[in-house]
Amino acid sequence: MKSYLCGLLLLLTPFFAMGQSWQELVDKVQRTELEQQLDLVNRYFNEQVRYRAELNDRWQSLSETLNSKQGDCEDFALGKYQTFLASGSHTKSFSFIYALREPDKVAHIALLHKPSNLLLDSLTNNLSTMNLRQDLSPVIEFTANSYQLFSPEVRLTRAELVSLRGWQKTLKKAEKQSSKELYD
C-alpha cells in the first residue's frame, strides 16, 4: 500500500498546494467512521475539482483529475473510488450508477456505497439513497465485472454496451493497479 501511495504522491505533487492534500484525505479516511468517510471523500472531490463536461467519453486517471483540478462526472466517481481503494476499502463495497439526469435526460455517473446504499455524486455534497434522488433516473448499476439494469424493459443500445465495456475495463485497470501496489 505504501508504494502505491508514494507513487501517487509523486504524480500529485502540483496538487498539494490546493489545501488539504489527497494523501491527507486518505489518512483521515482511514481514521474515521464509515459515514464520515463517505462524506469526506464526496466533499473533497466536489469542492476541490471543478466540473468540466467532455465531448469524448474518456475517464481520466486520478492524477489527471487532481492535477488539472477538473473533470466530468465519471472522473469524480472514479477518483472517489480510487481514494477508497487507497484507504483500504474493498472493491465489493462499491458500484457505479449510470443514470439520466432529469429533466433533460443527460447521461450521468455516480459512485454507490453498496452496504449503506448511499450515493456519492458530483452534483451534490449531500449523501442520499438513489430512491430519494428525484433528479436522477437510474439505468445501470455496474462494477468492473458485472452490471444490472434497473428496469427489465430497458435495453442497452450497441453504443451503450460499448461504453459500458470501456468503463468496466477502466475499473479493472484501477483495481489491478491498486491491488498490485498494495501487495508489492
pLDDT tens digits for range 48-81:
999 998 777 788 888 889 999 999 999 999 999 9
- What amino acid occupies position 119? L
Task: Write down the pTM of the prediction.
Answer: 0.85
**How would residue 19 be classed by pLDDT, with cut points 50, 70 and 90?**
low
Angle at 169 between CA 1 and CA 12, to 5 degrees: 40
The top-level CATH class assigned to 2-183 is alpha beta
The predicted pLDDT at position 179 comes to 56
With the CA atoms of 128, 122, 36 and 44 taken in that order, what torsion angle do they form, in degrees rounded to the nearest 10? Answer: -170
Interval 151-174 mean pLDDT: 90
Q: How many CB atoms lie within 10 A of CB 147?
A: 19
Q: What percent of the chain has pLDDT over 70?
A: 86
The predicted pLDDT at position 134 comes to 95
